[in-house]
Amino acid sequence: MKNFEKFYIDGAWVDPLSTARLSVINPATEMPFATIAMGSKADAERAIMAARAAFTSFSETSFAERLDLMERILSILKRRNDEIGDMISREMGAPVPMARSQQAGIGIAHFSATIEAMKSFEFEYMQGTTRIVHEPIGVVGMITPWNWPMNQIACKVAPALATGCTMVLKPSEIAPLNAILFAEVLDEAGVPKGVFNLVNGDGPTVGAVLASHPEIDMVSFTGSTRAGISVAQAAAPTVKRVHQELGGKSPNIVLRSANLEEAVAAGVRKCCDNSGQSCNAPTRMLVPMESMDAAIEIAVKTANSITVGAPDNEATVIGPVVSEAQFDKIQGLIKVGIDDGADLIVGGPGRPAHLNSGYYVRPTVFARVTNDMTIAREEIFGPVLSILGYDTVEDAVAIANDTPYGLAAYIQGDLTDAQALSRKLRAGVVRVNASAWDGFAPFGGYKQSGNGREYGKFGLHEFTEIKGVVGYLDA
């Protein structure tokens, strides 16, 4: 814990210029277990200038040098995976096995995928007599969330390093400790000083500086659509690139050709995964009208089978949500769903009966929801599912697309039908028949779910500028 109240700037752990401190709360116990420093504008600017000073030399490193650095980082991440997972479990509530295999493990997956992607990425090539060059965009400000913290850190830092960028990371102050461990990994791997910098703090202070500062060439933000709008507004005067992955209200269309038992059960479990705290969670399940009663029965059975409990309990499937504020928001939206007349078929307000403390939410399913209801339109970010009925596939598509969001969509049923339907959905990612996660597939959204793409070669593209050297060869 020696580095928890320090920042990583210019290749060293330094004392903050700010005196502000914040307790990190374990959501399973509602008790603080660590303290971090909260950065000021001066702290953020110190980190930005370190990144700016390092950019010239790091941007000129060779492909081989950057590849070797990436592989060293990957090796250390593998060695420290369980330690990082255990920390994530304590600060945001994920069950320990899931925190190790998925929450921490996805950092390993992103570095592995980026290494493979950079090996085949054409950083330079000829187009006729013109040389096309992908160059590092510059100094990147990174603002990451608490729900999948290592996922969003790794899928930004890995391509930034791979392309020769320097950076300043502001992780979520709600779950910041895994980022400190990540900084230790990069320090051990020998990242040149100033290339990677870490400053803890809140959005209105440190985040706003990263978004607005003229020495930041790109800001990469993951979080709510509301906060994303503020980031874009702050970035506009300096015309920097703004890359955003924002909110979602993803539809899950269960076709008539699907196995209803399997499809509904899988949809309920996926919605509740990570305690429902995933921006791409399939929170609107669309089933044929004639299958509504059967779907309700399956959903109730499945939700009741999901064990809510302490993260260190082997039987736990989902742990608490991350904070009191998040718990209160979810409880308020569950009440809104009831007041709006949706059928509450399982779960509901309050903690599970066997838990007296901690920010635990009951897996909750509403049925016969209409798409104009608040619970079908607002991102709840908890284990709360809305089941809506449809008559025709065309109706299902219209309902699915009737949202300001467009991050993800899900289709379950005949593969040929799903392939055709996927083209009609206004979403950046469409997953067919509970397919496995793909770290090389582009990840990002349409509409108010953001702009730009992450993962694999798509992430590499985001962190580069494109230069055309016309007349590079004689005609």
Could you list the active site residues?
A: 245, 279
Question: Taking the alpha carbons of 171, 172, 177, 178 in that order, is the dihedral positive or negative?
Answer: negative
Backbone angles phi, psi at 209, to 5 degrees: -65, -45
Question: Taking the alpha carbons of 238, 450, 457, 108 in that order, is the dihedral positive or negative?
Answer: positive
Contacts of 403 (CB under 8 A, 6+ apart): 249, 251, 284, 371, 377, 447
- The answer to whether the CB of 69 falls within 8 A of the CB of 189 is yes
Helix extents (H) in 170-275: 177-189, 208-212, 225-235, 260-272
Tell me how far apart the alpha carbons of residues 382 and 323 are, in angstroms, rounded to a whole number. Answer: 11
- The answer to whether the CB of 450 falls within 8 A of the CB of 220 is no
CA angle 306, 146, 384 (to 5 degrees): 35
- The answer to whether the CB of 349 falls within 8 A of the CB of 331 is yes
Tell me how far apart the alpha carbons of residues 124 and 121 are, in angstroms, rounded to a whole number. Answer: 9
Tell me how far apart the alpha carbons of residues 48 and 351 are, in angstroms, rounded to a whole number. Answer: 43
- One-letter amino acid at 256 equals R
Q: Which structure tokens are listed for 18?
A: 């700010």
Can you name the residues that pair with 389 across neighbouring β-strands?
287
Tell me how far apart the alpha carbons of residues 361 and 43 are, in angstroms, rounded to a whole number. Answer: 37
Tell me how far apart the alpha carbons of residues 320 and 383 are, in angstroms, rounded to a whole number. Answer: 10
Tell me how far apart the alpha carbons of residues 272 and 388 are, in angstroms, rounded to a whole number. Answer: 17
DSSP 116-183: HHHHH--SEEEETTEEEEEEE--EEEEE--SSSHHHHHHHHHHHHHHHT-EEEEE--SSS-HHHHHHH
Tell me how far apart the alpha carbons of residues 11 and 64 are, in angstroms, rounded to a whole number. Answer: 21
Helix axes 260-272, 292-304, angle to 10 degrees: 50
